[in-house]
Structure 1
Amino acid sequence: MLVLLAFIIIFHITSAALLFIATIDNAWWVGEEFFADIWRVCVNNTNCTEIDDSIQEFSTVQAVQATMILSTILCCIAFLIFVLQLFRLKQGERFVLTSIIQLMSCLCVMIAASIYTDRREDIHKNNPTLYALTSDGSYGYSFILAWVAFAFTFISGLMYLILRKRK
């Protein structure tokens, strides 16, 4: 059982790390001369433009930002609750709250990545020069890490549900 708990702790910490990297790092959409994320667009590694309310689809960007931050916070809270429940609750009651919070984190990261997938083009249409540059690109590793974090948080949430009855 200790090996299983150690595996779950490492898995959960990995999920949180993936969420932090996906939220902070600047590689959601990349091309030869630029890279962009949910916070800014950088051209030639020197000219960075913050995504602000001057962009037509700013509410879309805010939704992605908010859900990624919420997902990261929920994942960290779930870990703290897991540690507290590990020693405080009796068998059968353990990890249900942790599972619920982890699955909410999973839902948030899924919503953020889905919105970004659907509305990525709309984010830069207000600036024609920037849109022409960023239209030829591909999804970067931070975007992929967000989807991997979705899978990890989902699996982790299910593991907590299965673990609730184990001794």
Structure 2
Amino acid sequence: MLVLLFSIIVFHIASATLLFIATIDNAWWVGEGFFADVWRVCTNSSNCTEFTDSFDDYPTLQAVQATMILSTILCCMAFLIFLLQLFRLKQGERFVLTSIIQLMSCLCVMIGASIYTDRRQDLHSNNPEFYGAMMAEGSYGYSYILAWVAFAFTFVSGLMYLILRKRK
């Protein structure tokens, strides 16, 4: 049973780590000589421009920022609640609260990554003052991919907590 609990804890920490990296790192959209995320765009690895209110699709980016931050916070909260429930629940009780919070984190990641996926073309082609013409040519970066991997991890983790029963 200790091996099972240890693997669940490691899986949850991996989920939280993926969420932190996906939220913070600047590699959601990359190309030759530039990289962008939901916070800023950088060209030539040194010229970085933060997104501001003057950016045409700033509300869209704020939605992605908010959902990614919320998913990270919820994932960390779920882990702390799991640790509290681990020592406080009676045998046979389920980790329902942990599961619900983890599944809410999963939902937030899905919403944030889906909004970015849907609006990516508008974000990178309708704002030449931030991106320029070269930004339309590029591909999704590893932070974007990690966001979707974190979605899968948090979903599986939420389901594991839902069916997990505390045993000796």
8 Å contact from structure 1 (residues 12, 156) kept in 2:
yes
Provide TM-score, normalisation by structure 1: 0.96
How many Å separate the matches in 1 of 2:77 and 2:154?
A: 13
Which residue is equivalent to 2:163?
Answer: 162
Q: CA deviation at 1:164?
A: 3.0
Matched-pair contact (CA < 8 Å) for 2:41–2:50: yes
Deviation at 1:91, TM superposition (A): 2.8
Aligned equivalent of 1:33: 33
Cα deviation 1:103-152 (Å, max 9, x = unaligned): 00000000000000000122241325724121000000000000000000
Distance in 1, Cα, partners of 2:4 & 2:100: 20
CA-CA distance at 1:82 after TM superposition: 0.2
User: Size of the alignment, in residue pairs?
Assistant: 167
Q: What's the offset of the Cα at 1:94?
A: 3.3
Structure 2, unpaired ranges of 5+:
none
TM-score by length of 2: 0.95
Give RMSD over aligned pairs: 1.3
| Contact kept? 1:86, 1:94, Cα under 8 Å | no
Q: Secondary structure at the match of 1:130?
A: coil
Q: Does 2:88 match 1:85?
A: no
Partner Cα distance (1:98, 1:129) in 2:
41
**Offset from partner CA, 1:58-81 (integer Å, 9 cap, x none):** 110000000000000000000000
- Residue 22 of structure 1 deviates from its aligned partner by 0.2
List aligned pairs for 1:57-136, cutoff 5 A: 57-124=57-124, 125-127=126-128, 130-136=131-137
CA contact (8 A) 1:96 1:164 kept: no
Secondary structure of residue in 2 paired with 1:91: coil
Q: Structure 2 CA distance, aligned partners of 1:147 and 1:107?
A: 11
Aligned partner letter, 1:132:
A
